[in-house]
Structure 1
Amino acid sequence: MLRKLLHGSAVACASESKNKSTSDSELDSKYHANESLNNASGVLVLITQLDSLEFRLRGMVQNWSKYCQAILDMTDSSCNIRRMLDLAESNIELVEIEERRNGIEQLISQIQNNVIGSLQATLLEIPVLKVSQIQADYLYH
């Protein structure tokens, strides 16, 4: 929009210089024509600078768009990594709980075996003691 306005201004300045050269004195017309041409060339320089600025701004916007997308991707990735770490921690906790449970079950099994073994030995000794006692009583009477 601004470019069109400046371009229109440059064209108007150039045409104004042509019109003034025919109606004013020769010196005034050359001065005005030269001034109008200077104005027109200044406007053209501004147009060129605006084009260059527009090109750079588009590049910056594209870069910022890429940066923003990269930040969003990193945010998504960090959320996924957090989820994976939470899952890993849960799995580690489950493995630790399973290992503890297995250890406790083994300990209970050992205690049961020891108790059963002790009871069996005790039960086996009782009849032997009774028989021995009976034999001793019989022998001493």
Structure 2
Amino acid sequence: AAAYYWIPKMTGRLLSEKIGVVQFFTFFIGFNMAFYPMHQLGLEGMPRRTYHYVQSPEWGMLNLISTIGVYIIALSVSMFIFNVVKSVVLKGGKVADDDPWNADTLEWATTSPPPPYNFARIPVVHSARPLKEDVPH
């Protein structure tokens, strides 16, 4: 989530939301497929950190499901890398506004990507939401 939030500020380009949603659900499914069977295997007494595992038919299927889950996670990471390459490197993503998320903090008060010196002078902050405050004159 942090990458999708900060990449527009760093690069000036938004990542594809459609690819991002598919990538999230792919990762979610893969994560649960990988780690829930590992939890179950631990409850069933499968030892960890050994150089040789005992051959057990009931553990074999859970290990296979876990392995498939890891491959799904790898697919999800590949989708994220594709999204970054397509949107940022190949410049296929929409150009980001200065504040694409309507945030309240100072980092979004400057352009995306920011210039070497963000502000001509240090801004005076009067609240936790400096972009939404009424500045006293």
What TM bracket, shorter-length normalisation?
0.3 to 0.5
Relative contact order (C-alpha < 8 Å, sep 6+): which is higher?
2
Between structure 1 and structure 2, the one with the greater Rg is 1
TM-score (ref. length: structure 2): 0.36
TM-score (ref. length: structure 1): 0.35
Higher helix fraction: Structure 1 or Structure 2? 1
